[in-house]
Amino acid sequence: MSFKENMERLQYIVDEFDTASPDMETSLDLFEEGVKIIKESSEYLEKAKRRITMLLDDGITEKDVEDERY
């Protein structure tokens, strides 16, 4: 999933907890999915941060930037 899709799914999960009061099993499943999404999104943001740092570095080449893309 893309970063945007992850954020949309995470918002859905939060809304489920706020409005639906899911049962315990569903709550655990949603919580587990949310944790996975947060980890994946955090990794994406770290990679984006590295790319930005590379772009701001004087010694960067176009190849360096391409190697950091998804």
* pLDDT over 90 percentage in the chain: 66
Q: Which domain covers residue 38, as residue numbers? A: 3-67
11 pLDDT higher than 90: yes
Confidence of residue 59 (pLDDT cuts 50, 70, 90): low
d(Cα 20, Cα 1) in Å, to the nearest integer? 25
**Domain count of the chain?**
1
Longest dimension (CA), the chain: 54
The whole model's pTM is what?
0.72
- Encode pLDDT of 30-46 as tens digits: 999 999 999 999 999 99
Indicate the DSSP class of residue 14. Answer: H
Q: Mean pLDDT of all residues in the chain?
A: 88
